[in-house]
Amino acid sequence: MTKPLVAVLSGAGISTDSGIPDYRGPNGLWRRDPEAEKLVTYEFYMSDPEIRRRSWQMRRANRALCAGPNAAHRAVAELERSGTPVRVITQNVDGLHQLAGMPAHKVLELHGSARDVVCTGCGERGPMEDALARVDAGEPDPACLVCGGVLKSATVMFGERLDPVVLGEALAISKACTVFVAVGSSLQVHPAAGLADVAADYGARLVIVNAEPTPYDARADEVVREPIGTALPELLRRLGAGDAP
């Protein structure tokens, strides 16, 4: 029997057990410090050197690069290793799905990666760790070593477009999957949130695992409010065993 294609759309909530705070939850970053949004808004970042300096200090303090995958990330990777076709579409930039064992080519990072930097001038990419080492050494706003341009995290900032190739692949997976699991996402940020609608429109079973209600709960075949670290592994175990989620 052909195994179902499982698409997993993951949001910030899947990584909170790894010590990475979410953004829009009750204790989320944007609720605690609305000014922080400026630090990841392209227009402010490019036009204001002080915003860039504050952004680099925020990156230094961000523990995402030190975080490790948790039980939920590992459960997704284990399902893939068991022989069930799995594709991850993630709104996260922490790279934890890959660290948990998901093959990189099966993970679509809609919002880019915080583990790299990119030059806004020439497009040169490099490890975030190297750029942060320069900040630690006393450069408050390290420039591109190739062209002298402005460096930024290789993430999609507010005001930037998603990579159309990555988004196109995410749409294709959403249309083709048998089961679409949205986990730890508020499903409020588009176009990522709309993928749940696309999957349901094309006949996928829609399962939402999230602590708070989402705009797509009414469309879901199943809504799970239990803690992600225990609920997702159990859900995926059932899927791997051939049981309906």
Question: Active-site residues: which are they?
Answer: 111
The tokens for 83 are: 């022989």
Torsion of CA 173, 178, 181, 185, to 10 degrees: 40
CA R_g for the chain = 18
* Residue 205 DSSP SS3: strand
DSSP symbols for 49-112: HHHHHHHHHHHHH--GGG----HHHHHHHHHHHTT--EEEEES--S-HHHHTT--GGGEEETTE
User: Whose CA is closest to 64, among 87, 40, 81, 85?
Assistant: 40
How many Å apart are CA 226 and CA 207, to the nearest integer?
A: 13
Distance CA 162, CA 112 (A): 8
The amino acid that residue 245 corresponds to is: P
CA neighbor of 214 nearest in space, from 12, 37, 64? 12
